[in-house]
Amino acid sequence: MSSSTKIRRLTRLLESSDAIVWCISHTDELVFISGGCADWLGVDGETLIGRKSKAGTSVSACPEDLIAASLSPPPGFRRRGTATLKIHPPPINGLRAAIREARYVRVGSPETGFTLGIAGEFDDRQTESDVQDAVATRQRLDLWRQKNSGLSLALLAGTSLAARRIRRKVDVACSVRTHVGLFQPKGGGADLLALHIHHRSAPGEPLIQLDGPLLDPELLTAALTPLLNHLNDSDTSRGSLLCKQIDRMSIAAQRQLLTILESYPEQVRLLAVAGFSPHIINKEQQLQSESGENLKRSMLCSQISDLIDTIQIPCTQLSSRVEDLHAIATALLGRYATQHKTAAEHISRPALDSLVNYPWPNNFLELQEAMNHACQQATGESLQVEHLPLSIRSYRPPLPHPRKQTRSLDQLIQQYEDSLLDEAMISSNNNRAEAARILGISRSRLLRKLEQKETKCLQVGKKTDELQD
């Protein structure tokens, strides 16, 4: 019997059983979708053939790409050759497919074979905690991508309150075309968010990127000349400005930028990136600054502050989002795996502990560089501590400062001695001879100690009365 006949019989068997089956090639492309699988997903199976099915694939606006990525096997599958993952297919035309468990089986070698996916009810017992963590994180990321299909930036991943707040604000900024202010610590990644907002809220619209600290009024005008020429061609022409470190731009240049924005109120949109809490200065202070008096290093004109006041997006310190680090790092790992920069599929617990303990002074951009370095070093399916940069794997949290002693050694010794005297007198029922035997001292020495203690108590009581008077 010819091979083609066998294939046709197998295909007819799968189609007649309504089995939910799909096949992924060794190049991570979907090569077969059964009719039952297409019905479950709510799409035409032919539209999925040839699409990438790999965890970490960049989320696009195309629903078919999202579905193809959701069908990929979980971390650890490459080594074990079998795995189970709960799949949450993204919605199509507002309809969401049922959540199903899928069993993955590798057929042939990893280099030339293929992966067979079958949806059903399975109980896959895993013993490796690292792989369990990675699979759970993968499922959380899949859910997050579905709820925020356009928010593909790893910076927005996570379940903390800070992550949810920033996602809501970015979602609002992406839904309208208006001025936006983004405030960040050093290396906060707000520039990436600004680009993301621009491409989602105004796709195809020209964008001019400006480095605030490098511009004076003349250089600003020169940099904006191409955009201004475009705007002058038609009243319907539009353009956006992404100004980085706008609070480090000279006040004269800020005023020139404000003039341009006021000249094209409906045509030019400003995406302004600044540091946390820039100093807002009024018109009088602006004149003083232009005359040579530098009020503060980080300054923002009150008029520009009013423009970007509608939508303000704060990017918090990465060290305050410890619970999101695993999700963010895993999202970066998935992106580098898609770009074939690494074979690693998950992050080991020791490596994750190192990421959590590190304070990240340069925030998201430092984490991005660290994960890029680690992915280039990793050779297996797990990213280990030794793959991280030396500054991260060798970091040790500082020891807590010892408590400052508020009392002298003599005072502490006297306090301890008084407590022993009290215990001896209580034990002896105020029998001084017995108390002296308990303490191992002479009766005369005990009497002197008790007299000194009584004198000290009288002095303390006298001072208290004087303060009350």
Residue 290: the pLDDT is: 58
96/63 Cα distance (integer angstroms): 12
Residue 239 and residue 287 share a domain:
yes
Q: What is the pLDDT of residues 39-55, one digit of tens each?
A: 888 888 888 898 888 87
Q: Classify residue 155: in a domain, yes or no.
A: no
| pLDDT score for 242 | 95
Give the CATH number for residue 378: 1.10.8.60
Lookup: tokens for 75:
């971390």
Supply 367's token pair. Answer: 């984490």
Average pLDDT over the chain, rounded to an integer: 83
Question: Is it the case that residue 407 has pLDDT exceeding 80?
Answer: no
Per DSSP bridges, beta strands 114-120 and 21-25 are antiparallel
pLDDT at 338 over 70: yes
Give the span between the Cα atoms of 138 and 340, in whole angstroms: 18
Are the C-beta atoms of 240 and 208 separated by less than 8 Å? yes
Question: How is residue 24 written in tokens?
Answer: 């992924």
pLDDT one-digit tens code per residue, 353-392: 999 999 999 999 999 999 999 998 888 888 999 999 999 9
**CA angle, corner 265, sides to 260 and 268, nearest 5?**
70
CATH of the domain at 278: 3.40.50.300
Q: Residue 273: in which H helix or E strand, if any? A: strand 268-275
The pTM of the full predicted model, rounded to 2 decimals, is 0.62
Same domain as 207, residue 119: no
Do residues 377 and 413 share a domain?
Answer: no
Q: What residues form DSSP beta bridges with 153?
A: none
In a domain, residue 149? The reply is no
Distance CA 48, CA 64 (A): 6
- Please tell me the predicted confidence (pLDDT) of residue 331: 85
Do 213 and 270 fall within a single domain?
Answer: yes
Tokens describing residue 304: 């520009």
295 vs 271 pLDDT, higher one: 271
330, 347 in Cβ contact below 8 A? yes
Pairing state between β 180-184 and 268-275: parallel
Instruction: Please give the tally of structural domains in the chain.
Output: 4
Domain containing residue 19: CATH number? 3.30.450.20
Say yes or no to pLDDT of 81 above 90.
no
CB count within 10 Å of CB 196 equals 19
How much of the chain exceeds pLDDT 70, in percent?
Answer: 84
| Structural domain of 38 | 14-128
pLDDT at site 269 = 94
pLDDT exceeds cutoff 70 at 319:
yes
Give ∠ CA 147-150-155 in degrees, rounded to 5.
90
The pLDDT, as a whole number, for residue 23 is 93
Residue 258 lies in a domain: yes
Indicate whether 279 and 336 sit together in one domain: no
Q: Are 205 and 234 part of one and the same domain? A: yes
Kindly state whether residues 61 and 94 are assigned to the same domain. Answer: yes
pLDDT band at 245 (very low <50, low <70, confident <90, very high): very high
- Shared domain for 312 and 343, answered yes or no, is no
Q: Which amino acid appears at position 252 of this protein?
A: A
The pLDDT, as a whole number, for residue 279 is 86
In a domain, 278, yes or no: yes
Average pLDDT, integer, range 112-120: 88
**Are 193 and 272 in the same domain?**
yes
Report pLDDT for 295. Answer: 45
Q: What is the pLDDT of residues 411-461, one digit of tens each?
A: 888 888 888 888 888 888 888 888 888 888 888 888 888 888 888 777 766
Percent of the chain with pLDDT over 90: 28
Please identify, among 393, 427, 451, the residue that sits at the C-terminal boundary of a domain: 393
User: Does one domain contain both 123 and 167?
Assistant: no
Read off the tokens for 161. Answer: 């309150």
Asked which of 278, 298, 318 is the last residue of a domain, the reply is: 318
- Mind listing the pLDDT tens digit for each residue in 127-183? 566 666 676 676 666 655 544 443 457 888 888 898 999 989 999 999 999 999 999
169 shares its domain with 280: yes
Are 70 and 88 contacting, i.e. CB atoms less than 8 angstroms apart?
yes
Q: How far apart are CA 176 and CA 191, in angstroms?
A: 18
Average pLDDT over residues 246-262: 92
Residue 382 lies in a domain: yes
Pairwise CA distance, residues 362 & 330, whole Å: 19
Amino acid 464: pLDDT: 63
- Residue located via tokens 């990893």: 110
Q: Is there a domain that residue 142 lies in?
A: no
Reduced to 3 states, what is the DSSP secondary structure of residue 235?
coil
Q: Could you tell me if 381 and 359 lie in one domain? A: yes
Q: Where among 393, 421, 453 does a domain terminate? A: 393
- Report the CATH number at residue 415: 1.10.10
Q: By mean pLDDT, which of 128-132, 224-228, 283-287, 416-420 is the weakest?
A: 128-132
* In-domain check, residue 186: yes
> What pLDDT, on a 0 to 100 scale, did the predictor assign at position 2?
46
Alpha helices in 266-389 (DSSP H): 283-290, 302-307, 325-338, 349-357, 363-377
Kindly indicate the confidence band of residue 469, based on its pLDDT and cuts at 50, 70 and 90. low
How do residues 52-78 score in pLDDT, each as one tens digit?
A: 888 765 546 678 888 888 898 887 787
- Is residue 91 a part of any domain in this protein? yes
Per-residue CA distances from 205 to 61, 179, 197, 227, 228 (Å)? 17, 14, 12, 11, 13
Residue 220, pLDDT > 60, answer yes
Helices (H), 71-160: 77-80, 129-147
